[in-house]
């Protein structure tokens, strides 16, 4: 579950070094192969000299800086078909190269992609619905082409070489997709294009070997524009190493598919300031264009939810929280299609109801939470399975219940009761 993750987690102030190539050289010309690292020897056994450069074919690993073993390395995956580059320390690169997931077949995108990338006027390119998309439908699923930690340690003299190498190992298609991403960061020409590209486009990637989320670049996902009431949700599935968008409400054919880049619970003025500072645009979405009275209502609702979340930081069940208040906040979140917030609130509500021994409310909140998590992350989400198991219901039973009607209002609670009594 990706509660709380938002696109803008990588700020210019904490980005470290993320420059890049102005010219892409072929990998073979950029480095001398002088050592190999495919026999699993611990990195401490390697002799690093200032000019040491390293190649491995399976998978291809290029050690681009070498003075300290912890410094940044590149890993191109999968072997001989480099559609992903991972930048990390040597220790991590060795670990990553051994992930089982590279041996498994690559996850397939939806067979009939419901989106198209096209001109979005002043916004540049954008993602649009090719056909009507249902709530909870998987819109796009893809692996990142470029993943790096937030702070990349590179010797200043070697930055250009290093960042040239990061792209040089990729397939032509993957290179082209990175180079076609928008760069909203001025003044990055000196170190190359990719620094600004990461700042403008990065989405959070969960790495199986660390709690840290890494910035990742995706060919299609990064083409989606922002809306303060987005109709799609980004999540990252660590088991398949894929980023996904799901529709959080029905999207009509031709409508733009949008995600939230910033904290959607912040008031309008704050959202606009952040979008302007980081992404260099003034947001003119429908929520930002609300007349003053309605804008104030929208801000109040969002701030109230944010304040409840703040109080959840000290306790899962905040002091003084009541079922009535949580229900009201869920309703507000649903009215504004803030589905991620609605799902977190519903989970909080179910905890509260359980504490109070209120079985009916526990059931209602659990189903409500499942319904929203399904919209955010799809039926195969681990969070859906966890919530379903709390009810003692199978995913099939749940699907039967929830697919009778997508809005939470039309959930068939009678049927749930029936199934629950059957499973007891």
Ligand X SMILES: C[S@@+](CC[C@H](N)C(=O)[O-])C[C@H]1O[C@@H](n2cnc3c(N)ncnc32)[C@H](O)[C@@H]1O
In the complex, which residues of this chain contact ligand X (CB under 6 A)? 122-126, 181-182, 184, 200-201, 222-223, 225-226, 279-281, 283, 285
DSSP 133: B
Nearest distance in Å: CB 262, ligand X:
10
Q: How far is CA 267 from CA 233, 239, 333, 389, 420, in A?
A: 20, 35, 14, 36, 41
Query: By Cβ distance, which residue is nearest to ligand X?
Result: 124
The closest alpha carbon to 85, from 94, 93, 95, 75, belongs to: 75
Can you list the positions of beta strands (E) in 143-190? 146-147
If the CB atoms of residues 18 and 362 are measured against ligand X, the closer one turns out to be 18
Give the span between the Cα atoms of 84 and 145, in whole angstroms.
Answer: 4
Nearest distance in Å: CB 251, ligand X:
16
If the CB atoms of residues 122 and 424 are measured against ligand X, the closer one turns out to be 122
Nearest distance in Å: CB 147, ligand X:
16
H or E segment at 128? strand 125-129
If the CB atoms of residues 12 and 124 are measured against ligand X, the closer one turns out to be 124
Q: What is the 3-state secondary structure (H, E, C) of 262-282?
A: CCCCCCHHHHHHHHHHHHCCC
If the CB atoms of residues 10 and 94 are measured against ligand X, the closer one turns out to be 10
Nearest distance in Å: CB 121, ligand X:
9
Nearest distance in Å: CB 277, ligand X:
11
Residue with tokens 């954008």: 126
If the CB atoms of residues 160 and 213 are measured against ligand X, the closer one turns out to be 213
* 273 Cβ neighbours under 8 A, 6+ residues apart: none
- Pairing between strand 256-259 and 225-226? parallel
Q: How far is CA 287 from CA 232, 240, 281, 296, 335, in A?
A: 15, 34, 15, 11, 12
Nearest distance in Å: CB 294, ligand X:
19
If the CB atoms of residues 177 and 348 are measured against ligand X, the closer one turns out to be 177
Look at phi and psi of residue 241 and say left if phi exceeds 0, alpha if psi is from -120 to 50, else beta. Answer: left
Number of Cβ within a 10 Å radius of residue 4: 10
Nearest distance in Å: CB 184, ligand X:
4
If the CB atoms of residues 74 and 202 are measured against ligand X, the closer one turns out to be 202
């Amino acid at each position: 579950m990706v509660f709380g993750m938002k696109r803008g987690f990588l700020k210019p102030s904490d980005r470290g070094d993320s420059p890049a190539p102005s010219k892409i050289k072929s990998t073979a010309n950029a480095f001398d192969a002088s050592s190999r690292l495919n026999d699993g020897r611990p990195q401490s056994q390697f002799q690093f000299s200032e000019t040491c450069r390293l190649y491995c074919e399976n998978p291809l690993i290029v050690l681009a800086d070498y003075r300290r073993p912890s410094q940044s390395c590149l890993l191109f995956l999968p072997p001989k078909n480099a559609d992903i580059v991972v930048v990390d320390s040597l220790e991590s690169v060795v670990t990553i190269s051994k992930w089982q997931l590279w041996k498994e077949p690559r996850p397939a995108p939806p067979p009939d992609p419901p989106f198209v990338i096209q001109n979005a006027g002043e916004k540049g390119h954008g993602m649009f619905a090719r056909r009507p998309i249902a709530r909870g439908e998987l819109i796009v699923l893809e692996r990142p082409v470029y993943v790096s930690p937030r702070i990349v340690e590179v010797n200043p003299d070697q930055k250009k070489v290093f960042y040239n190498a990061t792209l040089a190992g990729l397939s032509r298609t993957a290179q082209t997709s990175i180079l076609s991403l928008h760069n909203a960061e001025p003044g990055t020409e000196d170190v190359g294009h990719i620094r600004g590209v990461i700042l403008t486009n990065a989405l959070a990637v969960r790495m199986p070997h660390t709690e840290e989320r890494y910035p990742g670049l995706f060919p299609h996902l990064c083409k989606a524009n922002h809306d303060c009431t987005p109709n799609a949700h980004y999540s990252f599935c660590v088991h398949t190493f894929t980023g996904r968008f799901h529709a959080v409400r029905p999207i009509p054919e031709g409508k733009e598919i949008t995600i939230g880049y910033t904290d959607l619970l912040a008031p309008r003025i704050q959202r606009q300031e952040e979008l302007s500072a980081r992404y260099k645009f003034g947001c003119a979405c429908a929520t930002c264009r609300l007349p003053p009275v309605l804008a104030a209502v929208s801000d109040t609702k969002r701030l109230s939810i944010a304040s409840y979340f703040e109080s959840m930081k000290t306790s899962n069940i905040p002091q003084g929280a009541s079922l009535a208040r949580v229900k009201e906040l869920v309703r507000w979140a649903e009215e504004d299609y803030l589905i991620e917030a609605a799902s977190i609130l519903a989970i909080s509500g179910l905890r509260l109801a359980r504490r109070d021994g209120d079985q009916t409310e526990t059931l209602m909140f659990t189903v409500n939470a499942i319904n929203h998590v399904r919209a955010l992350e799809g039926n195969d989400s681990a969070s859906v399975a966890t919530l379903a198991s709390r009810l003692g219901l199978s995913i099939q039973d749940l699907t039967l219940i929830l697919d009778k009607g997508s809005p939470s209002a039309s959930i068939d609670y009678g049927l749930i009761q029936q199934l629950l009594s059957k499973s007891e």
